[in-house]
């Protein structure tokens, strides 16, 4: 029995820290600028995010993705728009791809949750912006 116990203990010690999942970021988040509510949810083995609701005044028919670099996508509604995809656990955070309909830019996303707050860092080339969102409910 002792060899089994030693092997089991060794296997637990051998698990790298990166194999431990970061805190979950699934749920509904209020953006720090008060403009939107974003849902983060499972999509396959990874996580995705979409605009649940805009909290700003919108034109008749709803806000459109007017600044999208792809002209064919400029008429789609921002409410319900997927803005995160391929978010995968990476150490104590989540990394993947993001899109900002506010400025029409795609970026590398890095999200970290702690308590009821989530820090989202988005980078285009070497230029980065960090915001903090608040968990709802």
pLDDT tens digits along 17-28: 445 678 899 999
The dotted CATH code for 23-135 is: 2.40.128.520
Say whether pLDDT at 57 is over 50.
yes
Task: Compute the 3-state secondary structure of the chain and give helix, strand, coil in percent, each to the nearest 5.
Answer: 15, 50, 35
Q: How far is residue 70's CA from residue 89's CA, in Å, rounded to a whole number?
A: 29
* Distances in whole angstroms, Cα of residue 10 to Cα of each of 26, 32, 37, 91, 123: 33, 44, 45, 21, 39
Average pLDDT over every residue of 55-62: 94
Average pLDDT over every residue of 13-37: 79
Q: Using one digit for the tens of pLDDT, what is the confidence trace for 66-97?
A: 999 999 999 999 999 999 999 999 999 999 99
User: What global pTM score does this model have?
Assistant: 0.81
Instruction: Tell me whether residue 30 is exposed, middle or buried, using C-beta atoms within 10 angstroms of its C-beta: 0 to 12, 13 to 18, 19 or more.
Output: middle
Burial state string for 98-120 with b = 16 or more CB within 10 A and e = fewer than 16: bbebeeebebebbbbbeeeebeb
């Amino acid at each position: 029995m002792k060899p089994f116990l030693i092997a089991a203990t060794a296997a637990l010690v051998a698990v790298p820290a990166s194999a431990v999942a970061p805190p979950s970021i699934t749920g509904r988040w209020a953006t720090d600028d008060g403009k939107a509510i974003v849902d983060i949810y499972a999509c396959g083995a990874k996580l995705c995010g979409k605009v649940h609701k805009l909290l700003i005044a919108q034109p008749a028919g709803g806000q459109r993705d007017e600044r999208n670099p792809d002209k064919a996508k400029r008429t789609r509604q921002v409410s319900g728009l997927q803005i995160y995809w391929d978010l995968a656990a990476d150490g104590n955070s989540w990394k993947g791809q993001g899109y900002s309909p506010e400025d029409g830019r795609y970026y590398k996303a890095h999200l970290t949750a702690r308590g009821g707050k989530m820090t989202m860092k988005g980078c285009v080339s070497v230029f980065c912006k960090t915001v903090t969102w608040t968990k709802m409910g």
